[in-house]
Structure formats: C-alpha cells, structure tokens
Amino acid sequence: MSATLELAMELIRRPSVTPEDAGCQALMMERLQALDFRTEPMNFGDTQNFWARRGDAAPLFCFAGHTDVVPPGPEEDWDSPPFQPDIRDGLLYGRGAADMKGSLAAMITATEAFVSKHPDHHGSIAYLITSDEEGPATQGTVKVVETLEQRGEKMDWCLVGEPSSTSRLADVVKNGRRGSHGGRLLVKGVQGHVAYPHLARNPVHEALPALTELVAEEWDQGNEFFPPTTFQISNLHAGTGASNVIPGTLEVLFNFRFSTETTHEELERRVAEILDRHGLDYDIEWTLSGPPFLTAAGALLDAARQAVRDIMGYDTELSTSGGTSDGRFIAPTGAQVLEMGPLNATIHKVNECVGVEDLDNLSRIYERLLELLLT
C-alpha cells in the first residue's frame, strides 16, 4: 500500500460531513509540521480551517482544498459503508475519495517527497484547507483569504485539488470558472377566486411573458475560454394548493452562470429592464456566489501542462466548465489559480471512488509541479 493510498484511506475514515472536519485537518497538520511547516488554525463560526507555510521567501505556491464532504445518503445504497474505505478492482471507494480527500493525500505525499529531495527549495509552499466548501462557503476559504490579505500575505500560484479529470487522470485542468449569480424574484398580484378573475390579478399569468423573454435572451456570446452566459429557472412557487384560488404572489428562483464578457451588475440591470418593460410589480433579491476567474497564461499553467506531460505522457486540456469552487475567492487576490485532481465521474454519488493508480500518479504530478516551480 502506497503512502498516498494509506493517507487517503485514513482521511475517508473520518466522517467529515460539511461543516464537520472530524480530525482530518489535525492529521494533515501533523504531517506538515514534520516538514517544518508553520501551521495556523483559522476557525470561523462552525468551520475549521488552517493555513500552513514552509519558508518566507517569494514566490509562494499554495495547495488549496477542503476536508468536508457531502452527506453519503442512505448507507444501504452503498456497496460498502461510505466511511469505511474499501478497495475493489483497483478502485478506492468511500465518500470523499474523489472530492477531495484523494487529492489532499496526494498533496501531502507530493510535498513530503519534494521536501525530502529539495529541503532548501526556492520560495515557499503553503496549504489553505477548509471544512466549508461543500456547504455555504461563508466561513472557510473566503475568511482565510481575507485574513491573509489584511496582513499582506500574497499567494503567487494556487493549485486547488478539485476533481477536474473526465476520462483519464489530468486530461483536463480547470484554468477558470464561470461566475454564479442567483436571484429570488417575488412577483406580486392579487389573490382571488378563479371564478371571478376580474376581481384578482394573477402574478403567474403576468410574469410568464417576462420569464419567457429572460429564458430566450442572449446575454453574451462567451469567448475563447468561456461558453455564453446562461440563465436557468430552478424553482417556481405560487398558490395555496387549492385549485380554485388565484395566487397572490409568484416566487421564482433563478441562477446565472456568467462569463468574463459581462458582470453581475450588468446582469442585474438587464433583468430589471425586462421586468419593468412588462409592467410587473415585483421585489428581487440577489446573491453573488462568486465572479468568474481565468488563468489564461503564466508560470503555473506552463508548469501544470509540463508536469502532466512528464508523468502521464499526454497533453492536458484547458476548461472553465462545471460549478463554482473556492478558486473564486483566491483569484481576486491576483494569484494564478488552477484546479487539477482525479476523475469527477462519481463525485457526490453513491459508491464514490478513485483509481488507486491515479492517486499515486496524482502525487507524482503534484511533486513534479513543485519541482518545476520551486527548483
């Protein structure tokens, strides 16, 4: 059993359902302290985080990730208990195997191997680890980054261990993510009896033309790195449940995934223009989960491509697809940010798993990345 596999199994055994950490970070900090890292717990609210750093010089390379996992769902649906790691047919099964305890294990063992070979490496190595990525993400990475910014501690490069691969390990590296901007729209009408519609005002009927226009709108055309911005309605709710009552209000939940071709302020303005043009009586609340970010070029991207080529023997593909990640909190500081980790085919699913061989190769890729940047 390799060191990476053994550590991944130790992490999976800890039932760290968000925002719980269940001792994962203590295990990681212990390993890092043995390498002369200064470890600093940074806990906010119910969320455990830590910052660890080896060295004081620039440039600063940071591994970022999370120890929390999503709930496993009914355990009876799993072929083996979700928090009892099991190896079958070359795959390691368990909640968090791919998202992202396997990556965390590979980071640690890669760092151990690198420091053993290069104890006097250039620059510094850091870790930013949270237990609040799968939850609201309000007390985790965003808070640690705020603290680092306040004291002028800047990352130059950051590698987030999110599961980015699709068909084979490291075939895809995420060099950016779309922004996420959500809205809660409340359209106001007048409740009444369906037999007397002239005495009521149906907000569903009034809102439908505006919603249709929002769905059909072209927000932008995207660019070389990002697909066009998309608008999706995720929930509609109106009425009392009785078929003979015209509802008094309509609630619409929606979300934009937007490119660097627009801003959340521009999206808000254009939505308001459409709603106002249709004469709706409404209130709207906006929630910005994160702006888009992009690492289009630079030393980190060059090193990541070379590391994959050196270890795996093939070229990686760049992508900005998928949901949000904690990279959205780090990129605004000016750091180059990439995401690279295991296959994402089973993340958040029953019987989540990661290839045993992939874990070892991921550790080698991370180690090679450190060599290219810090030696």
Gap between the Cα atoms of 20 and 95, Å rounded: 14
Inter-residue contact 169 to 312 (CB < 8 Å): yes
Inter-residue contact 158 to 336 (CB < 8 Å): yes
Query: What is the residue whose two structure tokens read 């080896």?
Result: 54
| Beta-carbon-side half-sphere exposure of residue 251 (alpha carbons within 13 Å) | 8
User: Which of 311, 323, 318 has its CA nearest to residue 372?
Assistant: 311
Rg (CA), the chain: 24
Query: What is the residue whose two structure tokens read 């990686």?
Result: 316
Q: Indicate if 21 belongs to the active site.
A: no
Inter-residue contact 309 to 361 (CB < 8 Å): no
C-alpha pair distances (Å), 176 with each of 158, 163, 227: 12, 14, 12
Return the ∠ at Cα 145 (arms to 144 and 147), rounded to 5°. Answer: 65
Active-site residue (options: 21, 133, 156, 367): 133
User: Which of 64, 164, 178, 61 has its CA nearest to residue 122?
Assistant: 61
Return the ∠ at Cα 185 (arms to 238 and 205), rounded to 5°. Answer: 50
User: Which of 116, 130, 142, 121 has its CA nearest to residue 63?
Assistant: 130
Active-site residue (options: 21, 68, 86, 156): 68
Gap between the Cα atoms of 25 and 214, Å rounded: 44
Q: Indicate if 133 belongs to the active site.
A: yes
Q: Which residues belong to the active site?
A: 68, 133
